[in-house]
Structure 1
Amino acid sequence: MTNTTTARGYQGNGKGSLEGAVIAVAGAAGPAGSATLLRLAEEGATVVAADADAERLAHAVDGARFAHGGATVTGDTVDLLDLAATREWAARTEKEFGHVHGLVHLVGGWRGSATFAETDLADWDVLHNLLVRTVQHTSLAFEAPLLRSGNGRYLLISAAGASKPTAGNAAYAASKAAAEAWTLALGDAFRKAGGDAGPPAAAAILVVKALVNDQMRADRPQAKFAGFTDVKDLADAIAGTWSTPTEEVNGNRLWLTPKP
């Protein structure tokens, strides 16, 4: 049975605790990506961002650079549905910066229906690509670089619905569950690679109910967003995994919301 634990809140030390780390962020153009780029840059990491949307990615990268003068934040459009292109991204990143200490997987998407009977199997095809295939490709591409780096992290952002599917979310929950299983298999590979010395890298799942950001609150001022995780808190939790012992992170679901 897979262990579960609660993600430790990140306590920044003001000294750039990720100074020297090289962290790749897949799906970096959205609100969660922007918050993550900002947080990692704040902690001194070199951040290598990728997304399919070049315009939104450029905006996110520029925002992180502007907020943290001197930070190295780069952006590249990468087709994560192409395994060869994803492998090339990983190899290019390691060659350019010398190491890759993390891959944060923020690629997302949602499709659902009013009832189980109304489920459109075309939704499964879309979500399988977005939520499963991209995880397969990034994990295969970055496994070796993360093992070589020491204290590497592969972090998947998932949803509590994967553990308790609802009738109208069959395709979404099943896709998230598959992505979680794949990530935990990577964690087992890390465990086996370390033997008695412990895993040299960690694969883990950060679980949220849903995400919220300042723009969503501004657009819906009456909404409560109960149980939602702010993207800034998610970014803090992501950064904090590098200061938590690798063996405590690897192979675990780190809950940022109550378990269903």
Structure 2
Amino acid sequence: MTTPTYATGRLDGAVVAVAGAAGPAGRATLLRLAEAGATVVAADADPARLAEAVDAARYAHGGATVTGDTVDLLDLGATRAWVDRTEKEFGRVDGVVHLVGGWRGSATFAETDLADWDVLHNLLVRTVQHTSLAFQESLQRSRNGRYLLISAAGASKPTAGNAAYAASKAAAEAWTLALADAFRKAGGEEGPPAAAAILIVKALVHDAMRAERPNAKFAGFTDVKELAEAIAGAWEKPAQEVNGKRLWLTPQS
């Protein structure tokens, strides 16, 4: 493996994988990482939307290396193959941003459809399991690696109609904190060689949403550009200060 040439805490020259990159949050993240000088390896299940997101980041920052790959993150073998391709092409992996999302809910607790749990378990839990297992060793070798999960305040304060969603998010958070503990143990007295952390929002908002609902206040929502800034900021502190932390981007519930 090549030795990272960028300074600790900086993204210039880092190789960062973004899972679920085609949505508004993914687009903002690709733009911010490319602006910071990172090589960005984007993945999504929708090839058309992914290509649009990758092209937008490339055009916004001339000379930026931004690639797109359609990866089935529900397949651990396919996810590991994505890691192998990335390391073969770019020499290392310095970050994973997990933006795979989805929502299902009901009017009341009694009306909860357990089929929603099956869908959300795959989207919000299984993809975290596969990406974390596949990328762990690469992130540890980086010595500046970050695994960042985007979660929701509802995970720690579930409501009656959001049982499946909140439980899925809570499970994803617990899994990510277990990865953080693995990083801690791998580092010993020297401190963790990488960090796993959770960025928590109430909900996300972007320009198109504001245009559709000009009178809405979106109280407590996090703009996708703010989220992207917080993601980039995770490399500005030593791994020990980031590892195992819940980073609240909305008032803590």
TM range (shorter): over 0.9
Residue 160 of structure 1, aligned match among 138, 148, 153: 153
Q: Which amino acid aligns with 2:185?
A: K
Q: Is the 8 A contact 1:187 1:250 kept in 2?
A: yes
Number of the residue aligned with 2:251: 258
Residue 110 of structure 1, aligned match among 90, 103, 111: 103
Q: Is the 8 A contact 1:205 1:253 kept in 2?
A: yes
**Counterpart secondary structure, 2:62:** coil
Q: Deviations over 1:194-233 (max 9, x none)?
A: 0000000000000000000000000110110000000000
Q: Which amino acid aligns with 2:144?
A: N
Once residues 42 and 28 of structure 2 are traced to their aligned partners in structure 1, the CA distance between those partners, rounded to angstroms, is 12
Number of the residue aligned with 1:146: 139
Q: Which amino acid aligns with 1:171?
A: A
Once residues 88 and 138 of structure 2 are traced to their aligned partners in structure 1, the CA distance between those partners, rounded to angstroms, is 10
Once residues 163 and 236 of structure 2 are traced to their aligned partners in structure 1, the CA distance between those partners, rounded to angstroms, is 36
**1:91 matched to 2:84:** yes
Q: Which amino acid aligns with 2:86?
A: T
> Hey, which bits of structure 1, 4+ residues long, moved more than 4 A?
none
Give ranges in structure 1 of 5+ residues lacking alignment: 1-15
Number of the residue aligned with 2:50: 57
Once residues 192 and 225 of structure 1 are traced to their aligned partners in structure 2, the CA distance between those partners, rounded to angstroms, is 41
Q: Is the 8 A contact 1:17 1:44 kept in 2?
A: no
Once residues 214 and 13 of structure 2 are traced to their aligned partners in structure 1, the CA distance between those partners, rounded to angstroms, is 40
TM-score (norm 2): 0.96
Once residues 155 and 125 of structure 1 are traced to their aligned partners in structure 2, the CA distance between those partners, rounded to angstroms, is 23
Residue 176 of structure 1, aligned match among 160, 169, 178: 169
**1:133 matched to 2:126:** yes
Number of the residue aligned with 2:71: 78
Q: Which amino acid aligns with 1:98?
A: G
Once residues 172 and 136 of structure 2 are traced to their aligned partners in structure 1, the CA distance between those partners, rounded to angstroms, is 15
Give ranges in structure 2 of 5+ residues lacking alignment: 1-8
Q: Which amino acid aligns with 1:37?
A: L
Q: Is the 8 A contact 1:113 1:169 kept in 2?
A: yes
Residue 218 of structure 2, aligned match among 217, 225, 249: 225
Q: Which amino acid aligns with 1:184?
A: L
**1:39 matched to 2:26:** no
